[in-house]
Amino acid sequence: MKVLKFGGTSVANAQNIKLVLNIVNNKAKDEKLIVVVSAFTKVTDMLQLASRKAAAGDETYKDTLAEIEKNHLNAIKELIPVIEQSALLSHIKRIVNHLETLLDGCYLLGELSLRTSDTILSFGELLSSYIIAEALKQNLKNSNYKDSRELIKTNSYFGKAAVNFEVTNQLIFDYFASNDSQVVVMPGFIASTLEGINTTLGRGGSDYSAAIIAGALNANQLEIWTDVNGMFTANPKVVKQAQSIAFISYQEAMELSHFGAKVLYPPTIQPVLRKNIPIVIKNTFEPESDGTYISNQEMIHSNPVKGISHIDNITLITLEGSGMIGISGSSKRLFEVLSQKNINVIFITQASSEHSICIGILNSDADVAEEAINKAFENEISQNKIEPCIVEKNLCIIALVGENMKNHQGLSGRMFSTLGKNNVNIRAIAQGASERNISAVINERDVKKALNTLHENFFEENAKQLNLFVMGVGNVGEKFMEQIQQQQKFLKENLKINLRVIAISNSRKMHFDEEGIALEDWQFLLENSEVADQNKFIDTVKELNLRNSIFVDITANESISKTYEQYLKRNIAVVTCNKIACASEYDNYRKLKKLSQQFNAPFLFETNVGAGLPIIDTVKNLVASGDKINKIQAILSGSLNFIFNNFNENNTFHDVVKEAGVQGFTEPDPKVDLSGIDVARKILILIRESGYKMDINEINNESFMPAECLNTTTNETFFESLANHSAHFEDIYKEALSKDSRLKYVAQFENGKANVGLQFIPKDHPFYNLEGKDNIVLFFTDRYVDQPLLIKGAGAGAAVTASGIFADVIRIGNN
């Protein structure tokens, strides 16, 4: 014999009930079944709402009642042939009339007792079970209906009654010993006292009903049919990568269900555990799937962690004070108070000094608990021996669960370091003596990030999901998006990095998709999305609070560079090619670096100097290894190098600068390059990364540009001024020819001083043959004295800059 329980989603409507009937009919061919059913989806909530409305004098309870009746009548019309509906409709109508009488009584009396509430809530299962039993009889004549209230007996603790197993087991055994039906349908959740008064077994009690029956009859198996493929390694609605668990022990299942795995009601396990009856969690909508098999069978698993679960809406209450040290009975008094108020303690931890006790309870119990505890300890509080209890609401408990965790060292350290790296603050920690779970209390807003981070670490083969928020999708940004799309599969398969772009924005539009933007359509999606709003962009990034979040700035915008602090403080990494932040006031530069360390949020800007060349990374490695940089000589502007390499007697300066813009080598405003400010920022960043303190105004900028050109306000007037001053630029070129030299824009640092400017480079200089848009840097250090360390390569262009940004992102993924 098997006991099958079908939950609310499985019997939500006639269409779903037909799936249930098909499952039952197929299984009934081989063995006898007992089928326990829940109320139709939402009906218990609707009954609760209607009763509260009635007690509050709100006449709309009648509308809720009418909706309940309509749902059940519609189901009958779809499940039962017309010629056989009459008797069933009459029976259901009588039940609804009885329910209406009770609700009318609540309305007239203006009150709702727990006893009355239990009776009203029982109607959901009474209605659903009777309809399903009648529908089953259409194809399976040897089936029957039995009211659970006649078999399951409890005390009179209404709302969550305790079962009298001695009486209940005998009644169940006696009934089924004399019943030869192939299938018996019973309502779950409901029971009665020995006097026949209606009681309920607590929300989720239908699972418990089925387990009670299975235990009493020594059933072969208890099957819980729901809307998911068993128990999961985490809540699949929160963790998309959650996996179904094939086999799990009773103890592990109990821990997971206690910590919020809603697929199984926690008390369900106890009645079958004693009899060693296996539980199988199955999916009504995918009946062929294996689901989860729960038993005491010993299983060997490589992963000691079986699942990660959580409980929302937790309040942490702390009782502390010197008056508790060495005083016996403090804990007893605390828990007695809570017990008297029927408050369930979910989480407990105590300081080894006995100075404080910390408990976790539901938010809904917090106010009652606070008042009761303070009253119980009012004498000690008045004498300042104990502080009034500290109440922290809107928290969440997360728990790692696994039978074999006790045999593995370092799991708690791995758990807490994983959370710490994502800036998830832990308020309290507890580990059961069984060592089957490690629990931590965190802020409710961090639960999604925490669960996904832990799941990634313990279940996804060390795969890391990176969530990108990209600001600026112009020339470089477009190349960056192309490179991500091209390399996504490679990164996932070879580097175990799952790269997702969550947001994109330009100056006009922005688009968010929490599940990841479809990169093949990103331009269309962006163009047809909402108006860009920098503040809203930041707020949305913070609100999403995704693990491994990276803000990618591919702009040259000063206002955006000022937002980095907000991201870093929320543990959001920043990758940028925008040089403004790192070349701003020294104090601001240092603050960003410190925030990066403080909040464990990488701040990477390799492309600030040399586009995709590993120049900054080389500086960091030199300094980290103990070397000292004494002198830097460099050509740091690929755009200026391109311009002066192509400026000759055949090409005017105006035309070459135009072409550099078309090629994407210059900044959107070419004056940034030609004024020397861009090069000054770059050498400043190298100086700072080398360990020196300097500000931009300390760098001598020897401009070769006429003041009129630099004072223009638009690109159009700027290019007009270049044409007007063509003779000036030709004179410079001719002077270089006369000295048998080439024009190069050079940055230098030595003896604490720095300068940038146009120089005439002779043929024997390393810079002379630097072609195209290449950059070159010479580092003279304590170790590289006579022959400098040289880095050379393409230092401008959308593709190489994008690849440098990409490299920084991957660097974070590999960290």
| Residue numbers annotated as active site | 682
Give the list of residues 6+ apart from residue 324 with CB closer than 8 angstroms, or none. 330, 354, 355, 356, 357, 385, 386
d(CA 242, CA 246): 13
Give the list of residues 6+ apart from residue 335 with CB closer than 8 angstroms, or none. 345
Cβ(612)–Cβ(800) under 8 Å?
Answer: yes
**Phi, psi (5° rounding) for residue 45?**
-65, -40
d(CA 309, CA 713): 59
List the Cα angle 438/443/447 in 5-degree steps. 70
Q: Specify the DSSP element, H or E, that contains 340.
A: helix 330-340
Q: Encoding tokens for residue 525?
A: 């999606």
Residue 528, burial from CB neighbour count under 10 angstroms (0-12, 13-18, 19+): exposed
Give the list of residues 6+ apart from residue 643 with CB closer than 8 angstroms, or none. 653, 656, 657, 660, 674
What SS3 class is residue 788? coil
The pairing of beta strand 33-37 with beta strand 2-6:
parallel
The residue count of the chain comes to 815
User: Per-residue DSSP letters for 666-733?
Assistant: S-SSTHHHHTSHHHHHHHHHHHHHTT----GGGEEEE--S-HHHHT-SSHHHHHHHHHHTHHHHHHHH
Computed over its alpha carbons, how large is the radius of gyration of the chain? 36
d(CA 110, CA 477): 65
Cβ(150)–Cβ(109) under 8 Å?
Answer: no
Residue 56 CA to chain centroid, in angstroms? 39
Ranges assigned E (strand) in 166-210: 183-187, 190-193, 198-200
C-alpha torsion sign, points 803, 805, 807, 810: negative
**Phi, psi (5° rounding) for residue 523?**
-65, -45
Nearest alpha carbon to residue 522 among 577, 564, 483:
483
d(CA 324, CA 353): 9
